[in-house]
Amino acid sequence: MAITAPRGTRDILPGESWKWNYIINTASETMKDFGFREIHLPIFEHTELFSRGVGETTDIVEKEMYTFIDRGERSITLRPEATAGVMRSAIENNLCVQNSIAKLWNWGPMFRYERPQKGRYRQFYQIDAECLGVQNPFADVEIISLSIEIFRRLGLKNLEVVINSVGCEKCRPIYREKLLNYFDAHKNELCETCLTRLDRNPLRILDCKKEACSKVADGAPDIYDSLCDECREHFEEVKKGLERLNFTYKLNKRLVRGLDYYTKTAYEILSGDLGAQNAVAGGGRYDNLSTAIGGNKIPGVGFACGIDRIMLVMEQQNCSFGEVPKTDVYVAALDNEAKGAAQSLTYELRKNKISAECDISGKSFKAQMKNAGSCNFACIIGSEEIAKNSVSVKNLSDGTQVNIPISEAVEYINHQV
């Protein structure tokens, strides 16, 4: 039996990869306009980075990480998310020294052991942006507006911004105690997973998607009554900033995200076209992540969005991915004598940044011209053309054909494409 891809992974084939490139290029251009610089991170990190940074009681650390012991007896984990890695890099490489700001973005594969479903894979791809070194709520607004602008440029519609505050180390213990008292009185209505969360991290019960737990969580105390003055003021400034930019948003007291490092602002962008798993982007503030992984205090705020999910929404909403990539020129050889000359011309075109193809498998001229049908032009070389140092250039869209010196082919085609 032939070996197949592991469950929860998939191949991004040429018929789809150009759409991925369109999304990534659009994100890259938007990041540049917002002043974010690209960073490339290792695909695996020390396990401690995620257990300390993301949180011991999160589903990611408890159930979903791909962790192994390497030959040096070190515990290594394939990255389940990018934020902890970005912060590790910022600390290690002194990117935020002397109160400087680091605005960083990256994209690539992440790994989580989850049940595969529509738009969710065990190897999945994310675009990630982080603004480090700023506590001001203006940074929160910039991050939210950045994610919205990427989706606007991609043409996505029917999106909703949902925000919440999850407090800080000063006011969260007060809220935690209120949740403990409330959920303790509803123990019999909670699922087994939420019962284990009760003492360890009751905020995670708010995020449970099971119907019974969700119904109980709807009646839980609001965090807004427990926020300290600093968190309340920060949240009000974030809301004012969104209104200033004419962004509509919805408050959701149950939005806590799935990672322990969040403080103050948490947000998601939801699509009405994805069913239950409807978040296309999510993020927030994480002012304590840097100290949790052993660094100095570096406030941060950021977001991540899944390319698989974005693809789904764009296809469902009939968004444009730009033009399907098309080769500029096919160089066809009329006979065996011309095959070498065809390959030489093809290389000259490529050297001059003109996309070109030629036959390398011994196809007949008729088969070559059939392949040329997907290109813009065909350059035809035979024994007669070789004798005259010329080439016939055919415009495949209107059928016109000219014979020119082969030395002028690159310049001629450059003016045409």
Distance CA 356, CA 333 (A): 14
Looking at the domain assignment, is residue 181 inside a domain? Answer: no
Domain extent at residue 361: 329-416
60 pLDDT band, cuts 50/70/90, is confident
Looking at the domain assignment, is residue 406 inside a domain? Answer: yes
pLDDT computed for residue 78 by the predictor: 97
pLDDT in tens, 365-384: 999 999 998 899 999 999 99
pLDDT computed for residue 362 by the predictor: 92
Q: Are residues 24 and 107 part of one domain?
A: yes
Overall average pLDDT of the 198-202 stretch = 82
pLDDT computed for residue 203 by the predictor: 85
pLDDT computed for residue 409 by the predictor: 93
Residue pair 216/208 in contact by the 8 Å Cβ criterion: no
pLDDT in tens, 382-398: 999 999 999 999 999 99
- When the pLDDT of each residue in the chain is averaged and rounded to a whole number, the result is 92
Q: Are residues 163 and 25 part of one domain?
A: yes
- Check residues 258 and 281 and name the one with the higher pLDDT: 281
Q: Are residues 337 and 304 part of one domain?
A: no
Q: Are residues 248 and 115 part of one domain?
A: yes
- Least confident piece of the model among 50-54, 97-101, 246-250, 274-278: 274-278
Q: Which of 287, 316, 345 is the last residue of a domain?
A: 316
Residue 8 has pLDDT above 70, yes or no: yes
Looking at the domain assignment, is residue 187 inside a domain? Answer: no
User: Among residues of the chain, what percentage have pLDDT more than 90?
Assistant: 71
Residue 57 has pLDDT above 70, yes or no: no
pLDDT computed for residue 310 by the predictor: 93
Q: Which of 289, 316, 343 is the last residue of a domain?
A: 316
Distance CA 21, CA 12 (A): 11
CATH number of the domain bearing residue 370:
3.40.50.800
**What total number of domains does the chain contain?**
2
Q: Are residues 349 and 379 part of one domain?
A: yes
Looking at the domain assignment, is residue 412 inside a domain? Answer: yes
pLDDT computed for residue 275 by the predictor: 55
Q: Are residues 155 and 63 part of one domain?
A: yes
Looking at the domain assignment, is residue 338 inside a domain? Answer: yes
Q: Which of 316, 351, 386 is the last residue of a domain?
A: 316
> Would the CA dihedral through 366, 367, 368, 373 be positive or negative?
positive
95 pLDDT band, cuts 50/70/90, is very high
pLDDT computed for residue 36 by the predictor: 98
CATH number of the domain bearing residue 130:
3.30.930.10
Distance CA 280, CA 308 (A): 9
Q: Are residues 150 and 52 part of one domain?
A: yes
Residue with tokens 């759409």: 19
- Least confident piece of the model among 51-55, 109-113, 182-186, 302-306: 51-55
Q: Are residues 139 and 275 part of one domain?
A: yes
Looking at the domain assignment, is residue 246 inside a domain? Answer: yes
Q: Are residues 267 and 164 part of one domain?
A: yes
pLDDT in tens, 334-365: 999 999 999 999 999 999 999 999 999 999 99
| Other C-beta atoms lying within 10 Å of the C-beta of residue 407 | 11
Q: Are residues 400 and 337 part of one domain?
A: yes
Looking at the domain assignment, is residue 324 inside a domain? Answer: no
Overall average pLDDT of the 71-94 stretch = 96
Looking at the domain assignment, is residue 206 inside a domain? Answer: no
258 pLDDT band, cuts 50/70/90, is low
Q: Are residues 290 and 344 part of one domain?
A: no
pLDDT computed for residue 276 by the predictor: 54
Residue 411 has pLDDT above 90, yes or no: yes
pLDDT computed for residue 274 by the predictor: 60
Q: Which H, E and C letters describe the chain, residue by residue?
A: CCCCCCCCCCCCCHHHHHHHHHHHHHHHHHHHHCCCEECCCCCEEEHHHHHHHCCCCCHHHHHHCCEEECCCCCEEEECCCCHHHHHHHHHHCCCCHHHCCEEEEEEEEEECCCCCECCECCEEEEEEEEEECCCCHHHHHHHHHHHHHHHHHHCCCCEEEEEEECCCCCCHHHHHHHHHHHHHCCHHHCCHHHHHHHHHCHHHHHHCCCHHHHHHHHCCCCHHHCCCHHHHHHHHHHHHHHHHCCCCCEECCCCCCCCCCCEEEEEEEEECCCCCCCEEEEEEECCCHHHHCCCCCCCEEEEEEEHHHHHHHHHHCCCCCCCCCCCCEEEEECCHHHHHHHHHHHHHHHHCCCCEEECCCCCCHHHHHHHHCCCCEEEEECHHHHHHCEEEEEECCCCCEEEEEHHHHHHHHHHHC
Q: Are residues 163 and 131 part of one domain?
A: yes
pLDDT in tens, 126-161: 999 999 999 999 999 999 999 999 999 999 988 899
110 pLDDT band, cuts 50/70/90, is very high
pLDDT in tens, 17-49: 999 999 999 999 999 999 999 999 999 999 999
